[in-house]
Amino acid sequence: MITLGVTGGLGSGKTTACGFLKEKGAVVFDADAVAKNIILTNQHVQQTIEETFNVKVVREGRLDTKKLASLAFVSEENQSTLNNIVHPEVIKVLEEEIESHRGKTELFVVDAPLIFESGLDARLDYTVLIYAKLKIRLERALRRGNLSREEIMRRIKFQMPEEEKKKLADFVIDNNGSLEQLRESMHRLYDELVV
């Protein structure tokens, strides 16, 4: 079984790209979804966040996600601190998932925006960067309608620059074109990896 990390900046299309690998039979691990679930359900993680930031983010057993987001995305240091609390838990779940799929699938894909920043690339066979121009990424992120332009730009600012990621990735897939072009590129990549 080959493990592949798929990364890209906010609005790059990495999750869509992973969907095209799934069409070919890959198993996809959504690191963001797992991280969100850990933050929402893991009381130890919630307690650590509150103690570390000295802020109450859990009220009546419910996590105030807006408060947490405003805390995490206020500075690079805060985002890094939060990631250092959550990432080890995500990696535990990832390792369990990889083991449970060994021998059952040819390609195990990790969909994660912070593959290089978290050091996750060292645990994977290959990495691919889904690359799109900033203007296109911004348009896509705004279309989702869950973040303002200012919030999107702040989050992008805290991510590793795309040019740096290009140097680190084993493969770079251009996603400045159509969905069909992305599908073809991802299917070709699957065929190249799974011989």
- Facing residues of 122 across strands? none
Read off the pLDDT band of 37 (50, 70, 90).
very high
d(CA 194, CA 54): 48
Lowest-confidence range among 16-25, 69-78, 94-103? 69-78
pLDDT of residue 177: 93
**Which alpha helices (DSSP H) does 113-178 contain, by range?**
134-144, 149-158, 162-168
Share the mean pLDDT of the chain.
90
CA–CA distances in Å: residue 108 to residues 2, 5, 96, 118, 154: 6, 9, 12, 18, 31
pLDDT of residue 141: 86
The 10s digit of each residue's pLDDT in 146-171 is 778 888 887 777 788 888 999 999 99
Structural domains of the chain in order of their starting residue, each with its CATH number:
2-193 (3.40.50.300)
The 10s digit of each residue's pLDDT in 38-66 is 988 898 998 899 888 888 888 777 778 77
Overall pTM > 0.85: yes
pLDDT of residue 65: 78
Nearest one of 74, 69, 70, 68 to 48, comparing CA atoms: 68
- Please say if the pLDDT value at position 175 is more than 90: yes
Mean pLDDT of 132-153: 86
Nearest one of 113, 94, 83 to 34, comparing CA atoms: 94
pLDDT of residue 79: 84
Q: In this structure, what token pair is assigned to residue 174? A: 């251009």
Q: Please list, in sequence order, all residues whose beta carbon lies within 8 angstroms of the beta carbon of residue 191, skipping any fewer than 6 positions away.
A: 24
Q: What percent of the chain has pLDDT over 70?
A: 100
Residue 115 buriedness (CB in 10 A; 0-12 / 13-18 / 19+): buried
